[in-house]
Structure 1
Amino acid sequence: MRQRNKPWAKEKLADYPQYVIASPDQFKGKWHDVFEKKQPLHIEIGTGKGRFLTGMAKANPDINYIGIELQDSIIVTALDKIIEEEIPNIKLMNVNAEDLREFFEKGEVDRVYLNFSDPWPKTRHAKRRLTFKHFLNIYEDILIDNGEIHFKTDNQGLFEFSLMSFSEYGMLLKYVSLDLHNSDFEGNIMTEYEEKFSNKGNRIYRCEVQFK
């Protein structure tokens, strides 16, 4: 989906260094020092407009969260939510997920969230999917031992591809739902896309997988 360009976004992101980390490589191995409290660190890759991230941070004040989003015109909306609600346990990074090893030490992250990632439906673009083995290798490097990925999408093709990718990588499938909103799962916090697609009648797929 094309997003309206916001030429002022970069300047606004720079105006809030308490929330937006401009040079995250400087904090590699020291992320506990960035937050008010030393507690587990969860990251969302492709945080979009921030509804999931802010909802999780408010619901779990004993966890620190970092939202990672490449497009500054999108992440600036997440920043607005954080400013409005003054959420202390969130930081944002306007960076590419390809570079996560530059920002986090091995074992520094406790959990990764992937929500409604770009499905890249063409076969030749499979390597760009955030559940492709190349990205799984990156996540494994920065996660704690037995670290988890929690993944949600409305795209059946991407979900099937991802389950296969997780399995072929040797990961443990801890939870799989083929219809999240009609399941007994409790505590689900929706993203903007999730609400939109669900209202159209689309099924929401979710899984939790763990590195061995």
Structure 2
Amino acid sequence: MRLRHKPWAREKIEAHPQYVILQPEEQKGRWKEAFQNDHPIYIEVGTGKGQFVTEMAKAHPDVNFIGIEVYESVMVTALDRLIEAELPNLKLLNVDAENLTDYFEKGEVSRVYLNFSDPWPKKRHAKRRLTYKTFLKRYEDIMPASGEIHFKTDNQGLFEFSLMSFSEYGMLLKFVSLDLHNSDFEGNIMTEYEEKFSAKGQRIYRAEAAFRS
């Protein structure tokens, strides 16, 4: 993905601390205080322009959502969506997913969404894939025993790799769809990429995997 640099992005992000948590390491173990409730927390790693996480927060007011995006120039679009929607159950983090355990305690996150992650197709780059075992360990370290990963992609190679990765890690596959939009799955909320890919007739793959106690 080629990013258009927005030199003003950092300033805008810092101007809205009510929406973007600027020092998330200070919230570790205290996210209930940030949301002022004890609702479950779901995070989206690689939230992009924020369509999915914003619409999820609208649809599920009894769940707290956190969108995580490393690129400032992309996150500002998600921020604009949140400013417009004024959702009390959605926060944004401009951080790298490699450091998740710096921001969340064990059991603090109930679900992780991975939507249309970079497939890193070259074999030597496998460790960068967000479903590689080292990332699964990070998710496990912030989730309860029953925590779930919900994963969507248009990339068959990444999907096959991810199913194998979940299985080898000892996770339970609770749902697998090789063609989501032609399945009976209900309540699907699409990302920007999903809308674009499905409009071209590309198949969307989806899986739900749970950590075992």
Q: Is the 8 A contact 1:48 1:78 kept in 2?
A: yes
Q: Classify the secondary structure of the residue corresponding to 1:109.
A: coil
Q: Is the 8 A contact 1:48 1:74 kept in 2?
A: yes
Equivalence for 2:71? 71
Shift of 1:211: 0.3
Equivalence for 1:168? 168
Shift of 1:145: 1.5
Structure 2 gaps of 5+ residues are: none
Q: Classify the secondary structure of the residue corresponding to 1:43.
A: strand
Q: Is the 8 A contact 1:36 1:88 kept in 2?
A: no
CA distance in 1, matches of 2:149, 2:163: 12
Indicate the percent of aligned positions where both proteins have the same amino acid: 71
C-alpha distance after superposition, 1:23-57 (max 9, x if no partner): 00001000000014320000000000000000100
- The amino acid across from 2:11 in the alignment is E
Equivalence for 1:133? 133
Equivalence for 1:85? 85
Equivalence for 1:207? 207
Equivalence for 1:107? 107
Runs of 4+ off more than 6 Å: none
Shift of 1:85: 1.1
Structure 1 gaps of 5+ residues are: none
The reply on whether 1:157 has 2:157 as its aligned counterpart is yes
For the aligned residues, what is the CA RMSD? 0.5
Shift of 1:3: 1.2
Count residues in correspondence. Answer: 212
CA distance in 1, matches of 2:116, 2:28: 27
Shift of 1:144: 1.2
Matches within 5 A, 1:12-27: 12-27=12-27
Shift of 1:91: 0.3
> TM-score normalised to the size of structure 2?
0.99
Q: Classify the secondary structure of the residue corresponding to 2:145.
A: strand
Shift of 1:87: 1.0
